[in-house]
Structure 1
Amino acid sequence: MNTLAKPRFTTRSITSIAVMAALSVVLVALIHIPMFLPFLEYDPADIPIFITTFAFGPFVGFILTVIVAVLQGITVSASAGPIGIMMHIVATGVFVIVAGNIYKRNKTRKNAAVALAVGVVAWTAVMVVWNIIVTPLYMGVPREQVIELVVPAILPFNLIKAGINSVLTFALYKTVGRLFGLKEVKSVRECPAEK
Structure 2
Amino acid sequence: MLKTVVENLVFVAEFLGIVFATFVVAYLFEKIANRKSGYTGPIITTQKIAMVGLFGAISTILMMFEFPVPFAPTFYKLDFSELPVMIVTFAFGPVAGILTEFIKILLKVMFRSTTTAFVGELANFCVGASLILPSSIIYIFNKTRKGALLGSIAGTLTMTVFGSLFNALYLLPKFAQMYGMDLGALVGMGSAINPAVTSIQTFALMIVAPLNLLKGCMISVLTIALYKKFSPILKQSNSFREVNTAK
TM-score bucket (shorter structure): 0.7 to 0.9
Instruction: Please give the residue correspondences for 1:44-193 in structure 2 after superposition, counting only pairs within 5 Å.
Output: 44-76=80-112, 78-133=114-169, 134-139=171-176, 140=181, 141-142=183-184, 145-180=199-234, 181=236, 183=238, 184-189=241-246, 191=247
Shift of 1:14: 2.8
The 3 A distance-change label for structure 1 pair 91 and 182 is: farther
Structure 1 portions without partners, runs of 5+: none
The SS at the match of 1:79 is: coil
The 3 A distance-change label for structure 1 pair 92 and 185 is: farther
Shift of 1:9: 1.7
Instruction: Please give the residue correspondences for 1:37-48 in structure 2 after superposition, counting only pairs within 5 Å.
Output: 37-48=73-84
Larger radius of gyration: 2
Report Cα offsets for 1:95-149 as digits up to 9, x if no partner.
2211111000010001100000000011111111011022133143148632221
The 3 A distance-change label for structure 1 pair 124 and 150 is: same
The SS at the match of 1:80 is: coil
The 8 Å contact of residues 28 and 76 in structure 1, kept in 2 or not, is answered as: no
The 8 Å contact of residues 85 and 97 in structure 2, kept in 1 or not, is answered as: yes
Could you tell me the TM-score, scaled by structure 2's length?
0.69
Structure 2 portions without partners, runs of 5+: 1-26, 32-41, 188-197
The aligned amino acid for 1:185 is E
Structure whose residues are more often helix by fraction? 2
The aligned amino acid for 2:101 is T
The 3 A distance-change label for structure 1 pair 7 and 78 is: same
Q: Return the alpha-carbon distance in structure 2 between the equivalents of residues 137 and 145 of structure 1.
A: 16
Q: Return the alpha-carbon distance in structure 2 between the equivalents of residues 83 and 130 of structure 1.
A: 12
Could you tell me the TM-score, scaled by structure 1's length?
0.86
Q: Return the alpha-carbon distance in structure 2 between the equivalents of residues 185 and 154 of structure 1.
A: 37
The SS at the match of 1:37 is: coil
The 3 A distance-change label for structure 1 pair 179 and 79 is: farther
Shift of 1:44: 0.6
The SS at the match of 2:56 is: helix
Could you say which residue in structure 1 is the equivalent of 2:50? 15
The aligned amino acid for 1:92 is G
For the aligned residue pairs, the C-alpha RMSD in angstroms reads 2.2
Identity percentage over the alignment? 24
- RCO (CA 8 Å, sep 6+): is it higher in 1 or 2? 1
Shift of 1:8: 4.6
Could you say which residue in structure 2 is the equivalent of 1:24? 59
The 3 A distance-change label for structure 1 pair 148 and 68 is: same
The 8 Å contact of residues 164 and 205 in structure 2, kept in 1 or not, is answered as: no
The SS at the match of 1:148 is: helix
Q: Return the alpha-carbon distance in structure 1 between the equivalents of residues 48 and 96 of structure 2.
A: 11
Q: Return the alpha-carbon distance in structure 1 between the equivalents of residues 75 and 30 of structure 2.
A: 31
Q: Return the alpha-carbon distance in structure 2 between the equivalents of residues 145 and 104 of structure 1.
A: 39
The 3 A distance-change label for structure 1 pair 13 and 3 is: closer
Shift of 1:76: 4.1
